[in-house]
């Protein structure tokens, strides 16, 4: 660990500790110690994710452990000879156990959340596709119709990158496509601006493509999780129904932008992707399983009866039994990403289950906020943050907070698609942060090729980010007018119908049914 | 960022200087250490490992007073603590038998003949250290500017 990183960690810890001693009451917030600890953990996570003294997934893991120790019903408690002299579970003044401790099982369960399983299923599909060269062969097959005119090859590359990153990780897709592209770009004239167009096209398409399906990128998972906790599920098929057209439009716009900013001088080019489709029994299992899984996802619960999270587990069983995925492949999966997401879920659980969310709602008059301003404001903050830090971490921090605000803004948000549109647009904004090499791993990979400078990346990144946000809001308003997103029951309706209450004010209710009281 | 050492071993000071000079572009990311003999090299390796740091690459001459380069690299190959350490033999005087031993008993990753081309040595060093970093699971982001592109991309495909 370098000195700079140690310093960053110390600053973050000091600021987070400082949050324990803020005068909340004078701010109109009557919080107990447990809620204040959640605030401090939230701030710590935010600072760790922004300053990155540690890899981001380690922060997530730390968040879960810290919450288990300090705000859970099984938290740290030191006793000797039957006498407790220190406890995170009880109020030191009265000695009584706090009523708003978080279920430890619920915190641990964030790592086995159905949406984590959805992602794990996606990892199985991606790993199998890579292992049996389905990705490379499909890339070769799909690139053919785009011919040899560099302009259309560029479009082809963007389309394929976007398509793949809907099912594979954005990083893996970008790495694969850059590997295909690198030898061809070395044949370009050094002064050909087109080289930058190609190098930029890959990360842009990878980032944009991830927005197309629920499993495309982790911010989608964070939004889906918050939505499912308030019983506002967006099915895989519904997400794709708006996500895919959105991706297509944004890719076309980005393509035009790249051609305009970096005109390609070279008249003809040819991408050589070797190999042919494997026809071994295992490869065929991969093809069929992949197709069936996607089909089941698209058909959805109304037709096949199983939800997308369970569908995602079918390829897991098939690939394990058929040994398409071996123990080594299993161990080699991106468990860090799953921990990263689980930590984000845990923050949401802490916010909801301690009652902190409710207290914030009580103290801040969200209902009087202008709905459109809220939606755009949330998007702008999110887009800004996502340019400087991990997309997943951005969503992890903002989604739980914005979910609280969203459900309490009331019916004025309905014309814009309600809280569903709000959270989907936040997830989209997280994916649109792509103006710097540090914004996303695909950007870093493209920048490392040396074919694109930071300035070019910043220009295209900002333009596509803003364009993408405008397109998101236009789409949300359109979807709302079509009645795609059903509004949640409002606070008043919920108060009238007590059965609904938990679903509205305590979105995390489904995750952590308290086992011990 | 972890401490990763590149250890250069040669009994001729001028050769050692030349190697270290070639590797200068990498010094921002790696610690470049020099040893005049196999014995000295082993001492540096021991110290590095004991400090909890990595020996990423050893570039060794063959003909030296005392233990030869092939013997040193063979000892590194057999050392479990250095299982992922990359090895380059840089020599003009290894005969056929030495070369066979370098492959079979030391499993060298690369063989450079003196005189070498500096850009080739740097490119190979980058490639081998990229593999080392990825194999060890060290956060590659810190090393982005000097990593070998194709090695990195190939590795991240499965990510």
Which of B136, B155, B157 to substitute to test the interface with A, most A CBs within 10 Å?
B157
To the nearest whole Å, the CA of A281 is away from the closest chain B CA by 22
pLDDT at residue A439 is higher than 60: yes
Retrieve residue A94's tokens. Answer: 């009265």
Residue A182 — very low, low, confident or very high, per pLDDT cuts 50/70/90? confident
The residue range of the domain holding B15 is 4-117
Contacts of B145 in chain A (CB under 8 A): 448
* Closest partner CB to B156 (pick from A2, A175, A449): A175
Distance CA B37, CA B45 (A): 12
Q: Would you tell me how many other CB atoms lie within 10 Å of the CB of residue B151?
A: 17
Q: In this complex, how many residue pairs, one in chain A and one in chain B, have their CB atoms less than 8 Å apart?
A: 47
Which of B3, B151, B153 to substitute to test the interface with A, most A CBs within 10 Å?
B153
Q: What is the pLDDT of residue A512?
A: 43
Q: What is the pLDDT of residue A515?
A: 44
Question: Rounded mean pLDDT of A401-421?
Answer: 85
Distance CA B83, CA A87 (A): 46
> Do B153 and A332 lie within an 8 Å CB cutoff?
no
Distance CA B129, CA B110 (A): 12
Question: Rounded mean pLDDT of A416-424?
Answer: 90
Q: CA A172, A8, A343 angle in degrees (round to 5)? A: 50
Reported as a single tens digit per residue, the pLDDT across A486-513 is: 666 554 554 554 444 444 444 444 444 4
Q: Nearest residue on chain B to A448, judged by CA atoms?
A: B145
Q: What percent of chain B has pLDDT over 70?
A: 99
Distance CA A217, CA A220 (A): 6
Enumerate residues 6+ apart whose C-beta is below 8 A from A248: none
Retrieve residue A267's tokens. Answer: 């008249």
Residue A416 — very low, low, confident or very high, per pLDDT cuts 50/70/90? confident
ipTM: 0.80
To the nearest whole Å, the CA of B14 is away from the closest chain A CA by 33
Q: Of A204, A222, A196, which Cα lies nearest the Cα of A396?
A: A222
Q: What is the pLDDT of residue B159?
A: 60
Reported as a single tens digit per residue, the pLDDT across A34-79 is: 999 999 999 999 999 999 999 999 999 999 999 999 999 999 999 8
**A171 — contact with chain B (CB < 8 Å)?**
yes
Q: Of A217, A271, A287, which Cα lies nearest the Cα of A431?
A: A217
**A130 — contact with chain B (CB < 8 Å)?**
yes
Contacts of B3 in chain A (CB under 8 A): none
CA torsion A253-A256-A257-A262 (nearest 10°) is: 160
Bigger pLDDT: A286 vs A186 = A286
> Do A445 and B147 lie within an 8 Å CB cutoff?
no
Q: Structurally, how many domains does chain B consist of?
A: 1
Reported as a single tens digit per residue, the pLDDT across A440-470 is: 999 999 999 889 999 999 999 999 999 999 9
Residue A171 — very low, low, confident or very high, per pLDDT cuts 50/70/90? very high
Residue B94 — very low, low, confident or very high, per pLDDT cuts 50/70/90? confident
Q: What is the pLDDT of residue A487?
A: 60
- Provide the sign of the torsion angle of the four alpha carbons A367, A368, A370, A374, taken in this order: negative
pLDDT at residue A517 is higher than 60: no
To the nearest whole Å, the CA of A377 is away from the closest chain B CA by 31
Q: Nearest residue on chain A to B145, judged by CA atoms?
A: A448
* Closest partner CB to A448 (pick from B1, B144, B158): B144
- B87-118: burial string, b at 16+ Cβ within 10 Å, e else: bbbbbeebeeebbebbeeebebbbebeeebee
Q: CA B105, B109, B115 angle in degrees (round to 5)? A: 105
Bigger pLDDT: A59 vs A25 = A59
Reported as a single tens digit per residue, the pLDDT across B46-82 is: 999 999 999 999 999 999 999 999 999 999 999 999 9
**Which segments of chain B does DSSP mark as H helices, in order?**
13-22, 38-50, 69-78, 96-104, 118-136, 149-156
Which of A1, A55, A125, A172 to substitute to test the interface with B, most B CBs within 10 Å?
A172
> Do B141 and A449 lie within an 8 Å CB cutoff?
no
> Do B157 and A175 lie within an 8 Å CB cutoff?
yes
Contacts of B153 in chain A (CB under 8 A): 175-176, 178-179, 182, 445
> Do A127 and B144 lie within an 8 Å CB cutoff?
no
Q: Which residue has the tokens 């998972």?
A: A221
**B159 — contact with chain A (CB < 8 Å)?**
yes
What is chain A's Cα-based Rg? 24
**What is the overall mean pLDDT for chain A?**
90
Reported as a single tens digit per residue, the pLDDT across A266-322 is: 999 988 888 889 999 999 999 999 999 999 999 988 888 899 999 999 999 999 999
Q: Is B65 helix (H, G, I), strand (E, B) or coil?
A: coil
* Closest partner CB to A169 (pick from B147, B152, B159): B159
Reported as a single tens digit per residue, the pLDDT across A78-122 is: 988 888 889 999 988 888 899 999 999 999 999 999 999 999 999
Q: Going by DSSP bridges, is the β-strand pair A83-87/A77-80 parallel, antiparallel, or unpaired?
A: antiparallel
Kindly report the CATH number assigned to the domain that includes residue B13.
3.40.50.2300
Distance CA A157, CA A250 (A): 14
Distance CA A225, CA A228 (A): 5
Q: What residues 125-144 of chain B have any CB closer than 8 A to a CB of chain A?
A: 139, 141, 144
* Closest partner CB to A172 (pick from B141, B145, B159): B159
**B158 — contact with chain A (CB < 8 Å)?**
yes
**A273 — contact with chain B (CB < 8 Å)?**
no
**A436, A388 contact by CB (below 8 A):** yes
> Do A171 and B159 lie within an 8 Å CB cutoff?
yes
pLDDT at residue A516 is higher than 70: no
| A373 Cα distance to chain centroid | 23
| A346 Cα distance to chain centroid | 14
């Amino acid at each position: 660990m370098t000195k700079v990183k140690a310093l960053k960690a110390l600053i973050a810890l000091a600021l987070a500790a400082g949050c324990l001693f803020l005068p909340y009451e004078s701010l109109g917030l009557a919080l107990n110690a447990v809620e204040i600890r959640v605030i401090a953990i939230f701030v710590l996570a935010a600072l760790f994710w922004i300053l990155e003294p540690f890899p981001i997934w380690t922060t997530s893991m730390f968040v879960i452990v810290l919450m288990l120790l300090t705000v859970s019903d099984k938290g740290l408690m030191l006793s000797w000879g039957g006498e407790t002299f220190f406890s995170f579970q009880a109020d030191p003044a009265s000695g009584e156990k706090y009523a708003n401790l978080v279920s430890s099982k619920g915190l641990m369960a964030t790592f086995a959340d159905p949406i984590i399983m959805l992602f794990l299923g996606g990892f199985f599909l991606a790993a199998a596709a890579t292992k049996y060269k389905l990705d490379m062969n499909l890339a070769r097959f799909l690139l053919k119709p785009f011919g040899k005119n560099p302009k259309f090859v560029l479009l082809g590359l963007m389309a394929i990158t976007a398509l793949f990153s809907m099912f594979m990780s954005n990083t893996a897709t970008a790495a694969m496509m850059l590997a295909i592209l690198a030898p061809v770009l070395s044949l370009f004239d050094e002064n050909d601006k087109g080289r930058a167009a190609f190098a930029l096209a890959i990360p842009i398409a990878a980032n944009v493509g991830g927005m197309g399906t629920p499993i495309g990128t982790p911010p989608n998972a964070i939004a889906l999780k918050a939505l499912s906790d308030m019983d506002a599920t967006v099915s895989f098929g519904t997400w794709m129904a708006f996500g895919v057209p959105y991706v297509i439009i944004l890719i076309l716009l980005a393509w035009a932008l790249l051609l305009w900013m970096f005109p390609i001088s070279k008249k003809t080019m040819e991408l050589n992707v070797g190999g042919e489709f494997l026809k071994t029994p295992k490869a065929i299992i991969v093809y069929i399983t992949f197709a069936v899984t996607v089909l089941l996802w698209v058909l959805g619960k109304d037709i096949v009866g199983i939800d997308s999270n369970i569908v995602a587990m079918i390829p897991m069983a098939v690939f394990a039994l058929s040994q398409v995925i071996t123990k080594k492949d299993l161990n080699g999966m991106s468990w860090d990403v799953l921990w990263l997401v689980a930590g984000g879920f845990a923050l949401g659980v802490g916010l909801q289950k301690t009652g902190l969310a409710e207290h914030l709602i009580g103290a801040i008059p969200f209902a009087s906020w202008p709905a459109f301003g809220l939606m755009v404001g949330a998007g702008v903050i999110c887009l800004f943050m996502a340019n400087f830090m991990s997309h997943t971490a951005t969503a992890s921090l903002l989604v739980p907070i914005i979910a609280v605000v969203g459900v309490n803004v009331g019916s004025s948000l309905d014309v814009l698609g309600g809280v569903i549109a709000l959270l989907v647009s936040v997830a989209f904004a997280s994916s649109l942060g792509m103006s710097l090499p540090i914004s996303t791993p695909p950007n870093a990979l493209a920048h490392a090729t040396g074919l694109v400078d930071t300035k070019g990346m910043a220009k295209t990144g900002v333009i596509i980010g803003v364009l993408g946000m405008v397109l998101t809001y236009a789409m949300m308003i359109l979807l709302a007018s079509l009645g795609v997103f059903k509004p949640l029951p409002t606070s008043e309706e919920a108060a009238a119908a007590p059965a609904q209450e938990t679903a509205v004010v305590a979105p995390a209710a489904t995750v952590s049914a308290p086992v011990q009281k | 960022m972890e401490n990763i050492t590149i250890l250069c071993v040669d009994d001729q000071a001028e050769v050692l200087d030349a190697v270290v000079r070639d590797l200068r572009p990498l010094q921002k990311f790696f610690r470049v250490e020099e040893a005049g003999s196999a014995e000295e090299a082993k001492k540096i390796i021991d110290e590095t490992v004991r400090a909890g740091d990595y020996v990423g690459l050893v570039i060794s001459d063959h003909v030296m007073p005392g233990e030869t380069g092939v013997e040193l690299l063979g000892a590194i190959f057999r050392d479990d603590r250095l299982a992922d350490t990359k090895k380059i033999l840089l020599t003009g005087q290894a005969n056929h038998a030495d070369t066979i031993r370098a492959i079979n008993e030391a499993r060298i990753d690369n063989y450079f003949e003196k005189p070498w081309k500096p850009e080739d040595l740097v490119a190979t060093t980058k490639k081998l250290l990229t593999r080392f970093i990825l194999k060890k699971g060290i956060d590659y982001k810190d090393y982005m500017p000097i990593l070998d592109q194709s090695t990195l991309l190939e590795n991240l495909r499965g990510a």
